[in-house]
Amino acid sequence: MKIKEIKRKENSYFIYEVTFTPNWLEKLLGVEEKTKEYKDRDATYTFGGGNVYIDKSGKELGNGNWIGEAIDRFRRSW
C-alpha cells in the first residue's frame, strides 16, 4: 500500500484522513483502496522528533513510522 492522499477532516483540527492505494501486485490480488483516520495527540517524540499519532483503535504509531512521517510532511507543506 502507498499513500494516495492526506487531508484534514472537516470541522476537526487534530484528525487526518489518509487514503491508501494498493500497488500493482496488491491490485492483482484484489486489494481495494481504503481510508483510515489518525489523530494527532499534540505531543512529540523526545528522540527522533515528529508528532505522536493514534489510530481509531487507540494504537499509537511508533517513532519514525512512515505514516506519521507522511502526515508531518503534509502539515509542513505549503
| DSSP character string of 5-44 | EEEEPTT-SSEEEEEEE--HHHHHTTPPPEEEEEEEEEEE
| Prediction pTM value | 0.88
How many folded domains does the chain comprise? 1
Domain that holds residue 56: 2-76
48 confidence band (pLDDT: 50, 70, 90): confident
> 10 Å Cβ neighbour count for 73?
11
74 confidence band (pLDDT: 50, 70, 90): very high
7 confidence band (pLDDT: 50, 70, 90): very high
Cell representation of residue 75: 502539515
pLDDT attached to residue 33: 96
* Distance of alpha carbon 11 from alpha carbon 13, whole angstroms: 7
